Amino acid sequence: MTITESTATDVASRDQLRLVIAGSVDDGKSTLVGRLLHDTKSILADQFEATLHASQGRGATEIDLALLTDGLRAEREQGITIDVAYRYFATPRRSFVLADTPGHVQYTRNTVTGASTADAAVVLVDVRGGVSAQTRRHAAVLSLLRVPHVVFAINKMDAVDWSEERFAQVADDVRDVAARVGLSTPEILPISALTGENVAAPGPDWYAGLSLLSVLEELPTRIADVDEPFRLPVQLVIRPRTTEHPDYRGLAGRVASGSLNVGDTVTAYPSGSSSVVVGIDGATGEQSRATVGDSVTVRLADELDVARGEVLATTVPIRTTQQLDAVLTWLDERPPTPRQRVLVKAGTKTTRAMLGVTQGVWNVDELCWQDSSAPLQLNDIGRVSVQLAEPVAVDDYADHRATGAFVVIDPDTGATLAAGLTGADLGALTTP
């Protein structure tokens, strides 16, 4: 939160990176989160003192950084992290939203939640134990969810006297896991979250690369999405019918991928009707172009019968279907029942749906698909086909993260039952 020595250029161009930190608690996750907050001066004096006070109240002699992040009564009482929390820190270059996920409780579900919105992930590996089952699981889930950048931080280097040889061994194992789950050329670097070396401070002499914080500052954000085909799920039709704006009619939504210019021809899916863009109204007024991430209202030359739930596209059409061949991560305590009736929300479209039988389960330890028709249990990842009551416009998740995801909702309780990815093929994850 504290910015020092900023210049006008720094702040004006400062962007935002959404980050998730994976790895088990024992790998030093809480310490790293505390370290990042501390070294970017995002912990203010009263928070620090309250945390110190709470640590001392529990008999500790030094500050327990985990108490800084574990905010709930039950978490502090039991010394565990229950739920995903979000933290904020900033450097003069970039601001960060950090999804702080629990390491060992309900790991897949929480990692999926944190990873779904992340631009980048840091996977912690304890250099003493090397690659663990947790490392493989997290790498697989991050690959499955197509988090654009995955960084492996080999932690606790201070505990092995910054042994270059030991780092090289673990890095080789990490490269092997990354290749098996389809993460190409990941960044791998040595750190000590405890001492701060190579986090924000410089690393050892033998290490020529950047520190973790510098790596995170350098990662590109969403640039690739601008080159993807244009997609805009329609949230709302804005039609004021006021004396000032009697004829205004705009389609409001947030650009999910690609870009749109005034003069482009757009088609709405599933309805299939087309028109020309005559105006784009953004948050600061009329604009000639909208790109990924912008919340805008699009005005068209013709009055199309387009409603919430449709997706606007330009040159590359989006698929319209009533049958999703999908990969589900099951998030509920109760497994699905055969032909269970559910709701599917994809983008801004909610429709009634029915779950098919399981066609296979991803073994997160062996990193392979297993034949199984047993119902998915909590945290399971499986292939399931979903029959929809109405057509929806979707892309394969492998092609478009933003328009390829959906959630499964219990119509009675409203609970979110599963995270869904369209397309049964997980791409690189299917390699043995």
Partner 1 sequence: MTTVIPTATDVSLRELEAEAIEIIREVVAEFDRPALLFSGGKDSAVLLHLARKAVWPAPLPITLLHVDTGHNLPEVLDFRDQVVAEGGHRLVVAEVEKWLADGRLTERPDGTRNPLQTVPLLDTIAEQRFDALLGGARRDEDRARAKERIFSVRDAFGSWDPRKQRPELWRIYNGRHAPGEHTRVFPISNWTELDVWRYIAAENVALPSIYYAHERPVFQRDGMWLTPGPWGGPRGSETLQTLSVRYRTVGDGSCTGAVESSAGTIAEVIEEISVSTLTERGATRADDRLSEAAMEDRKREGYF
Report 101-130 residues binding partner 1 (CB under 8 A).
Answer: 109-110, 112-113, 116-117
> Closest approach of Cβ 133 to partner 1, in Å?
22
The Cα 95–Cα 18 span in angstroms is: 9
Give the one residue of 25, 85, 150, 304 binding partner 1; rule: CB under 8 A.
85
Q: Could you say which residues in the range 16-45 bind partner 1, by CB under 8 A?
A: 16, 44-45
Query: Could you tell me which residues are beta bridge partners of residue 233?
Result: 311
Nearer to partner 1, 110 or 267 (CB): 110
DSSP state of 127: T
Q: Which is nearer to partner 1, 116 or 275 (by Cβ)?
A: 116
The residue with tokens 């057509």 is 391
Total H helices, total E strands in the chain? 10, 23
**Rg of the chain, C-alpha, whole Å:** 23
Go through 61-87 and write b for each residue having 16 or more CB atoms within 10 A of its CB, e for each that does not.
Answer: eebbbbbbbbeeeebbeeebbebebeb
Nearest approach, Cβ of residue 131 and partner 1 (Å): 27
Q: Which stretch binds partner 1 (CB under 8 A): 27-35, 66-74, 155-163, 180-188?
A: 66-74
Applying CB under 8 A, which part among 1-9, 25-33, 176-184, 317-325 lies near partner 1?
1-9
407 binds partner 1 (CB under 8 A): yes
Does the footprint of partner 1 cover residue 346 (CB under 8 A)? yes
Please identify, using beta-carbon distances, which residue of 386 and 409 lies nearer to partner 1.
409
Report if residue 93 touches partner 1, rule: CB under 8 A.
no
User: Alpha-carbon distance 173 to 428, whole Å?
Assistant: 18
Min dist CB 253 to partner 1, Å, is: 8
Interface residue with partner 1, options 56, 60, 71, 374 (CB under 8 A): 71
| 281 is a site residue for partner 1 (CB under 8 A) | yes
Q: Of 240, 263, 272, 338, which lies in the binding site for partner 1, with binding defined by CB under 8 A?
A: 240
Q: Report d(CA 182, CA 33) in Å as an integer.
A: 27
Question: Please, which residue, 119 or 197, has the CB nearer to partner 1?
Answer: 119
What's the burial of 107, exposed, middle or buried (CB within 10 Å: 0-12/13-18/19+)?
Answer: buried
Site residues for partner 1, window 365-394 (CB under 8 A)? Answer: none
CA angle 105, 109, 110 (to 5 degrees): 65
DSSP 248-301: --EEEEE--BSEEETT-EEEEETT--EEEEEEEEETTEEESEEETT-EEEEEES
Does 1 sit near partner 1 (CB under 8 A)? yes
For residue 248, the minimal CB distance to partner 1 (Å) is 6
Of the pair 88, 206, the CB lying nearest partner 1 is at 88
Q: Which 287-306 residues touch partner 1, going by CB under 8 A?
A: 293-295, 297
- Among the listed residues 342, 417, 422, 341, the one whose alpha carbon sits nearest the alpha carbon of residue 380: 417
